[in-house]
Amino acid sequence: MTECWLVTGGAGFIGSNLVDHLLRRGHQVVVLDDFSTGSPDNLPGGDDISVLRADVTSTESLDVAMATVSGVFHCAATVGVQDCIDDWFGAHATNATATIRLFETAQRKGNLPVVYASSAAVYGNRSGEVCHEDLPLDPVSPYGADKLACENHARAFWQVHRLPTAGLRIFNVYGPRQTVASSYSGVLAQFGQNWQAGRPNVVFGDGLQSRDFVYVSDVVAGMAAAMDRLRRTPRCFVSNICTGRSVSILDLLALFEGAAGRPAPGPTEFRPARPGEIRSSCGATARMAELLGLYRTVPLEDGLRAYLNSLEPRATVEAPLVQALE
């Protein structure tokens, strides 16, 4: 059955990949995006997609966007750690306050189910530990603190209003349409751009910091599965989206060389570590498998090859009609 879904931040990296997935499944999609980081070029045209240029912090825009949808995928956010530090209150308005407004609007519209992007940043610096969902949470950045606030308010909305929500603690996601402007696993986007341009790579810190890199198709599959589960059994839950494998930045460079089939473009430049960044990150996959049915994820080597292939020039596609909301 054809249904209509709202995707906030739908012109961005994760959001646009999710939009493609929903359209392939035969659904209709409403995209709400202010295009501060997303691009209309990431979206197809066609009768099954409506694109609203609007600020996710606006209750009026959320009212319009949710008028005819069956549920909400909330991807809009300010994700850069440094961006959140530089504009703490502005980032909080987008990441936390706007999410509360979105929950409130979804509740008023009849308790529409909401799948929202949380983050592994809620765990804080868990070097040497595998992050499972029952760990005490200890964010070390304003971004992580805001995502934890979203989870707490989601639980409160469930207790007070029975609003169904799923918060997905996404680890370091990468894949097609990721750019250096995207702070989701920006190191991979930067490596890709440097390989294309023949520039040396830059590593912040000693390169031994490690991350759990998850391909964007696995994130999209997790979001769709979370919505399916909320539709079957309304509840409030959180789950990791990860691979269970942590890879250092130096090892990632070696894997990138293998996927690219040529050496890195010049010697790696090392710069001081950035404040608020986590030393090591690795996620547990048990709850993801149990709740979302995701038992296998794309191997990093395969994902890197697919990502590099996506950087090759492609034919242009029909652009969507963007409607501006005042």
3-state secondary structure of 203: strand
Question: How does strand 247-248 pair with strand 210-211?
Answer: antiparallel
Q: Tell me the two tokens of residue 260.
A: 């690219």
Cα 184 versus chain centre, distance: 7
| Cα–Cα dist 29/19, whole Å | 7
Q: Which amino acid is at 294?
A: L
How far is the first Cα of the chain from the last one, in angstroms, to the nearest whole number?
Answer: 33
Residue 236: enclosing H or E segment and its boundaries?
strand 236-241
Residue 280 per-residue DSSP state? B
User: Quick one: tokens of 314?
Assistant: 């492609």
Looking at residue 319, what DSSP letter applies?
P
Q: Is 143 a catalytic residue?
A: yes
* Residue 252: C-alpha distances to residues 122, 244, 326 (Å): 24, 15, 44
Give ∠ CA 98-101-107 in degrees, rounded to 5. Answer: 145
The residue behind tokens 């509840």 is 235
Cα separation, 184 vs 176, whole angstroms: 12
- Of the residues 143, 184, 215, 307, only one is catalytic, namely 143
Contacts of 23 (CB under 8 A, 6+ apart): 29, 44, 46, 48, 49
Catalytic residues: 143
